[in-house]
Amino acid sequence: MEKLKNLTKQSEFKRKIVIVLALMVLLMAFGIINPAYLSYTNIMTILLATSTNGLLAFAVSWPIMTAGIDISVGTVMTFSCILSGVAFNAAGLPIGLCIILGILVGSFCGFLNGFMSAKLGLPPMIASLAMQMITKGLSLVISGCKPVYFTDCSWYQKIATGNFLGIDGFYNAIIILLGMCVVSYIIFSKTIFGRYTLAIGSNSEATRLSGINTDNWLIGVYTLCGTYAGIAGLVLSSRLNSAQPALGPGYEMDAIAAAVIGGNSLMGGEGTIVGTLIGALIISSLQNGLRIMQISTETQYAIIGVVLILTVAFDQRRKKKKTVSKNNT
């Protein structure tokens, strides 16, 4: 057993080294193709883009650790900032209260996903697909298919695009991302929430038989996922100074790709917060580099799709090898 634990730790360390090297190779390759890619301005642009994708990657990591999935994070993100904008413009509520409302809306959507999965017995894919369709439709209906602007609040855009400590180009959104990374790491590695999340993903039935109420913990996991989506909505709407009702779909695929590339197994029971952040950086760096090379958006989607397939295939193979080693031990 001790030998198996050591092998697992070695495997996780090697995997982290691989994704860090992959990020470095990616940066160097695009830097050779176009030196402007490694400029300070472009690096900050990549980090700014990662602020949204990274938060959503953190969001989907939690359900993935439980062997579940949430494909509604993109539209939940949009729905939360749409309601926040409508509350600010139409209802005239204070902007601070509207921000809290938007995050709570994301949490509630996550709660509903967890409730449908844990209590109603719906597969997480179906539950989150339904939520994706509901939030997408409501966003378009409530907004009238038009952007909702925050221009009446002079400082709203500075939440994401303001310069931290006056450092030019070092945006507040980057600090928000890093701050949420620290919070996620603490929750994951220092609390029972993280331990139970992995336990449910490893063997849900055994975890339930040990006396843990897995249904309630699953609801908590999806609620946390929705909360991250609400925060991502705040960052994105602040970047754009508006809430775009049609912008959400597609973000979930980048988030899932980042989480899987970062080392979160779709089979559950394994996860890493730092790896997820690196995975999000890889996706943003790849998209930015392809954009600089004037590769069409459609082709970018295809390339990221291929990367995701290869990553999942590698993860499945590694998981099978781990199972064989465990059985032999």
Q: How many distinct structural domains can be found in the chain?
A: 1
Does residue 199 contact residue 41 with C-beta atoms inside 8 Å? no
Q: Establish if 6 belongs to a structural domain.
A: no
Does residue 259 contact residue 64 with C-beta atoms inside 8 Å? yes
Taking the C-alpha atoms of residue 261 and residue 202, their distance in angstroms, rounded to an integer, is: 19
CATH number of the domain enclosing 115? 1.10.3470
Q: Establish if 154 belongs to a structural domain.
A: yes
Q: Which residues of the chain have pLDDT under 50?
A: 1-5, 7
3 state SS for 172-203: HHHHHHHHHHHHHHHHHHHCHHHHHHHHHHHC
The pLDDT assigned to 303 comes to 85
The total of other beta-carbon atoms located within 10 Å of residue 74's CB is: 28
The pLDDT assigned to 313 comes to 80
Does residue 198 contact residue 12 with C-beta atoms inside 8 Å? no
How far are the Cα atoms of 167, 191, 209, 267, 305 from residue 201, in angstroms, in the given order? 42, 16, 14, 7, 25
The DSSP symbol for 34 reads -
Q: Establish if 37 belongs to a structural domain.
A: no
| 148 strand-pairing partners | 243
Q: Establish if 147 belongs to a structural domain.
A: yes
The total number of residues shown for the chain amounts to: 329
User: Could you list the residue range(s) of the whole structural domain that residue 313 is in?
Assistant: 48-319
Residue 205, SS3 per DSSP = helix
Taking the C-alpha atoms of residue 311 and residue 262, their distance in angstroms, rounded to an integer, is: 9
- Widest distance between CA atoms in the chain: 65
Q: Establish if 53 belongs to a structural domain.
A: yes
Residue 243, SS3 per DSSP = strand
- The pTM of the full predicted model, rounded to 2 decimals, is 0.91
The pLDDT assigned to 82 comes to 96
The pLDDT assigned to 267 comes to 84
